[in-house]
Amino acid sequence: MSAPPRGACLGGRILGAVLAGALILATPRMSFAQAAANELARQTLGLPYWHVFIAYAVVWLLVAGWVISIARRLSDVEKRLGRD
């Protein structure tokens, strides 16, 4: 009996490694990323993000003021051109 060809042995090892990797990935064990997500889910943030809501309110007020300012200036320009 002769030894199997070298390529057949290498192909079997690669196939075995791929199957072992798939088996490891398919097992229902907890990965490091899942453990970190569970720790983050259990965290309490203490104070709510009130400063974020205040910042959004300020930005909305600034945008509204800017739109009103543009509308007033546009109406002044229309009056000057006589397009009431």
The predicted-structure confidence for 6-17, as pLDDT tens digits, reads as follows 555 666 788 888
Q: Where are the domains of the chain?
A: 1-43, 47-84
State the virtual CA torsion across 21, 26, 28, 32 in degrees, nearest 10: 50
pLDDT of residue 14: 83
pLDDT of residue 17: 84
Confidence of residue 77 (pLDDT cuts 50, 70, 90): very high
pTM of the model: 0.42
pLDDT for 65 beyond 80: yes
pLDDT of residue 7: 53
